[in-house]
Structure 1
């Protein structure tokens, strides 16, 4: 009887351990993240008109006509590959959309830069398009003054913690990162938090990025490499 009780107890403990193991958090160290960048184009245009030194009535009229044919929120897509403590952010450029939506040719509403970040050396290499020329710019990773808060939210099933930051001591940033993806990185050049940034916003610039999909897959190291200079 004692032997049967002992065996039953062992089986119960073993079963409990197996069930618990199913809920152990998996930490994603390599994969691909899809991002959507949302830009409030109307707000950007209003600000440009307000800051204009000239009383340009035509700009106001043109803006009203613009609103009839263009949405307030412009969506731009991009991907972020990560692995081996490195990231590669690549925008999906829709030439037609960029030509029709960027009425004032505002940099904030565009997404042309491909950015490679190596956290092992704290360096980044960006491919930037200026007019018809493409340049490579090498620099250290962005220095953002972060303050982590107690606020959390769920993004694509990942528990993310909020952090407030300052870029260049003046631009306010709000980000949500997850340590379930223990790779320092995020869209564009946003970085510096103890995990992957899945959502980030520049409230005063009327722009934000949010992850729409996380693919847990081993990304070949050969595909996470610095961009090459190329004129287009």
Structure 2
């Protein structure tokens, strides 16, 4: 009886260690993301006393024919210290009417990030013009919390931050993917960011799947098209073009420089 009990305890001890032995820390692969946009909330923000006569009618018609949330898809290829964020084609753009080209409801950035050199190259489409922005990665002052959430099969820890002086960001990252990247321009946490929510901007990005696989150099090729400039140059250009756009300019600039 005593020997049986000892054997059982040894077996249980071994089994408790097996999962830990099978944990794999992926440093190369592909993540599929979905961006979810609350179209009703975004459109409602554009209605004011100067345009409500026609905008409210257009909004009411939109709600009759279109869902509240728009879904956009993208991929993030990563290998060690490099990532490439690539949006997939927006198949709903035409269905959104004149709101379809609003910078708040599209994904027009192809972003190559070098986490080792802390630099990025972004191909950014702004209406009919394309820019190639090269600069240092955004420094984000993250504050880690104890809250956790499972995303795409990974346990993720929550972090909060404020970027661009006023945008509140909630992110979830996993240290099981020890690459300090994420969707769009979000980075700087001790692991891959699998979820980002911008509560006041009515949008979020969350991973739907993670593929642990080799990534080729071709899959991490930085974009090359567009008028080359740095972040300041882009901001100066956009401010110059939109200075007569009134209050709407601020919302557009925020979306284009996020």
Q: TM range, normalised to the smaller chain?
A: 0.7 to 0.9
The CA distance in 2 between the partners of 1:187 and 1:205, in whole Å, is 16
Partner of 1:23: 20
TM-score normalised over the length of structure 2: 0.79
Q: 1:38 aligns with which of 36, 39, 43?
A: 36
Work out whether 1:100 is the aligned partner of 2:95. Answer: yes
Q: Which runs of 5 or more structure 1 residues have no equivalent in the other structure? A: none
Query: Pick from 171, 190, 209: which aligns with 2:205?
Result: 209
State the 1:131 CA deviation: 2.2
Return the offset for 1:20: 2.2
Quick check: 216-225 or 15-24, which moved more? Answer: 15-24
**Residue 111, structure 1, aligned to residue 107, structure 2:** yes
**1:125 Cα offset (Å):** 0.6
Structure-2 separation of matches of 1:66 and 1:56? 14
Q: Which runs of 5+ in 2 are unaligned?
A: 228-258
Equivalent residues, number:
221
Q: Which residue of the partner structure matches residue 143 of structure 1?
A: 139
Contact kept, 8 Å, 2:132 with 2:226, in 1: the verdict is no
Q: Give me the TM-score of the superposition, normalised by structure 1.
A: 0.87
Deviations along 1:14-64, one digit per CA (max 9) or x if unpaired, are 9955772443321011000000000001100100113xx614311100111
Question: What's the CA shift string for 1:116-139, capped at 9, x where partnerless?
Answer: 100010001101112222221112
The structure with the greater share of residues assigned to helix is 2
The 2-side partners of 1:228 and 1:216 are apart by: 27
- RMSD of aligned residue pairs (Cα, Å): 2.3
Contact 2:161 2:169 in 1 (8 A): yes
1:84 and 1:221 in contact (8 A); partners too: no
Counterparts of 1:192 and 1:102 in 2: how far apart (Å)?
A: 37
